[in-house]
Amino acid sequence: MTAIAHSAVSVHRARTLQDALDQLSQAPLQLLAGGTDIMVEANHGGLRGRHFLDISGLGSELGGHSWLPDGALRIGALCTYAQLQADARAQAELPMLMAASRLVGATQIQSRGTYAGNVENGSPAADAAPALLALDAVVELRSLAGTRTVPLAHYYTGYRSTARRSDELISALIVPKPDGGVSCQFFRKVGTRAFQAITKVGLSARIVWQGGQITDARIVATSMAATICRAHHIENALRGLSDIDAAAKSALRRAQDADLRPMDDVRSSADYRAEVFHRLVLQAASETRPS
Amino acid sequence: MTVSHPHTHLADAVAPQPVSFTLNGDAKTLNVRPFRRLLDVLRTDLALPGTKEGCGEGECGACSVLIDGEPVNACLVPVIQCDGATVVTIEGLASHAALHPVQEAFVAHGGAQCGICTPGMVVTAAWMADNKMNAAAIREKLSGNICRCTGYSAIVNSVAAALGESE
């Protein structure tokens, strides 16, 4: 067997949040919570030479979720997909986040995987993170230096890289009470099948219609760039529209080309992604329109 | 010569630590390398080979076990995360007196064929039954358990029977 120096790898199971923050202040560590991404890499022989900080035992300090007085949802760092889906208010008020949660892997992954882990993992094909971005979620980061917040819209700095400093951990995700209620929320994941699939192309949208026209829009693209991202040109092209006619459709397609240059890769082609994403935008505009 | 298994790199690289958990009702304390997969610890150290390995990457559900009452993939759980937890495997579902109702239903309705996916299917289905879930949810809740033999109908019928309804 290949010899591996024991000093090259270590794992520390944090007993308290203070302990975790102390450890993070001393050296960069690979955070481990639900393990549904990390363990796949580890099982394939990756992640050698890393030092791990297992925070999965900090449920009393970082687990669960709560509703704040202003109607916002606070999702603790260790809150799993299964836990939040069991909340009737989350189902009633945040259907796009619930739709995304339901499609993360399948039952066994949803028991273990966390929203914060999904955000920090930084996959451009993430399920929950794009819904959180379309809901204007904010990332709360803790370190020995204190607590700071970063809008998820500014969290990704590149492919799988985030604004988190190495001495910080995500303590919570804050989802403001969404404008426009539930009827403006749209989530669609296109993959090879409903469950246990990785997104070929996905759209998380909030499109607010008032007085017969679109007054506000959040358009978030999945698997269309190096990170999940807002499509600002599309959002601007949607604002003010009252009818999605042929001219509007071409304007939306031009806006998309300014926002997104999808790739060919093992899961799909650039052309397929661009065409399907455009149609998802049209579907979102149509389905969110009050009848 | 020892052949290096691809799954063992990280698992073997950290020194053993004590890990205590409840396994099928019994208290266990092991001195184990913390990054070993629960799957391997169950099958190798604890001689419980009922939990199967299919894909080793959280896709197939053959290694499904219950941790603190929830179905998880044992291939994605480093054993250190079981410290303080309650683990139930396929071996823990039946009592000495009787099979679990889901096991009875798999027998009665031909829910097993080659048997590799069966323990994971039964564990997930038992979780559904014990939590009184609706038969309408069977296909979604079992979507993380892949079978390559039966085409699923016999499995779904077995689970529906155990839940006391037809799908």
pLDDT category of residue B38 using cuts at 50, 70 and 90: very high
Which of B51, B66, B91 is the endpoint of a domain? B91
Q: Would residue B144 count as lying in a domain? A: yes
CA distance A197 to A192: 6
Residue B6 is predicted with a pLDDT of 47
To the nearest whole Å, the CA of B77 is away from the closest chain A CA by 7
Residue located via tokens 């499609």: A103
Q: Report pLDDT digits (tens) over B65-121.
A: 999 999 999 999 999 999 999 999 999 999 888 999 999 999 999 999 999 999 999
pTM given for the model: 0.94
- Claim to verify: residue A164 and residue A256 sit in the same structural domain: no
Mean pLDDT for chain B overall:
92
For chains A and B, count residue pairs whose Cβ atoms are closer than 8 Å: 116
Task: Give the tens place of pLDDT for each residue, A144-197.
Answer: 999 999 999 999 999 999 999 999 999 999 999 998 889 999 999 999 888 888
Same domain, A66 and A141: yes
Under DSSP, is residue B137 helix (H, G, I), strand (E, B) or coil? helix
Name chain B contacts of A11, Cβ cutoff 8 Å. 14, 34-35, 78, 80
Do B107 and B84 lie in one domain? The reply is: no
Q: Which positions in chain B touch A6 (Cβ < 8 Å)?
A: 13-15
Residue B2 — very low, low, confident or very high, per pLDDT cuts 50/70/90? very low
Residues A105 and A155 in one domain: yes
Q: Is A63 on the interface with B (CB under 8 A)?
A: no
ipTM for the whole complex: 0.93
Q: What's the pLDDT at A44? A: 84
B24 touches chain A (CB under 8 A): no
User: Is A92 found in the same domain as A170?
Assistant: yes
- Is the pLDDT at B1 greater than 60? The verdict is no
Same domain, B127 and B67: no
Its domain, for residue A40, covers 8-54
Residues (pLDDT < 70) of chain A are 1-7, 48-49
pLDDT-based confidence at B167, cuts 50/70/90? low
